[in-house]
Structure 1
Amino acid sequence: MVIKVFLASSSGSTAIKKKQQDVVAFLEALKVDYTPLDIACNEDNRAWMRQNVPEEKKPANGIPLPPQIFNEESYCGDYDTFFNAKEDNSVYAFLGLPPPPGSKAHAYEEEELEEEAE
């Protein structure tokens, strides 16, 4: 599974730059493998991202802004949903990845499985 993060290398918006840096820094801190895909320099990346963000997740103008996050072809979300997952300690679930062994999320998941088995 490859996490794809669509970014704009030459965005004029400091807000977008800050959001992109936040996503990338957090993924790196968690040691999550990801592929950054630039939509500013690569028209194919931009077209793919725009085409694959679900209609209900697109803004009113219809053009999703970076960062947009996918697990392979599966849409995970934009910065706001990433931020919410980060706040809820559910980034692995947001990304569609199993939590690594020894992590709090892994321990929580095992606890839930044990409760279901009882």
Structure 2
Amino acid sequence: SDVLSVRSPFGAPPRVPITLPLPPDFQIKSQQSEVTRILDGKNIKYELVDISQDNALREEMRAKAGNPKAIPPQIVNGDHYCGDYELFVEAVEQNTLQEFLKLA
């Protein structure tokens, strides 16, 4: 026959790694959980604001972030915009969370 069959030594077909992007809402929940876990661990008080059901709150978050497409989590201290999830994680890694949160 002219058909070439490729098999691994164990008889199973070779596997190609695939990437499955997480749905946006799963990624958001995961990032929110990470932020709250870190804040809880450092005994930093915070308020969670659910923007999912309120367009006005969503627009306010985006205005504070200065990005019309910003998605949560966005961190704000009063009227002071601190940053997004990536900047939060960077601040944690660099041990500058107090400055990032405008608490220092």
Q: 1-side partners of 2:85 and 2:24: how far apart?
A: 17
Partner of 2:79: 73
Q: 1-side partners of 2:81 and 2:75: how far apart?
A: 6
Partner of 1:94: 100
Q: 2-side partners of 1:75 and 1:69: how far apart?
A: 6
- Structure 2 gaps of 5+ residues are 1-22
Count of residues paired in the alignment: 82
Matched, 1:24 2:36: yes
SS in 2 for 1:89: coil
2:26 counterpart letter in structure 1 = T
Q: How does 1:6-85 map to 2 (within 5 A)?
A: 13-54=25-66, 58=67, 62-85=68-91
Q: 2-side partners of 1:16 and 1:35: how far apart?
A: 17
Q: 1-side partners of 2:64 and 2:83: how far apart?
A: 11
Q: Mean Cα displacement is larger for which, 12-21 or 65-74?
A: 12-21
Question: 1:50 Cα shift?
Answer: 1.2
Q: Alpha carbon RMSD of aligned pairs, Å?
A: 1.5
TM normalised by structure 1 equals 0.64
SS in 1 for 2:103: coil
Question: 1:44 Cα shift?
Answer: 2.3
Higher helix share: 1
Q: Which runs of 4+ in 1 moved over 3 A?
A: none
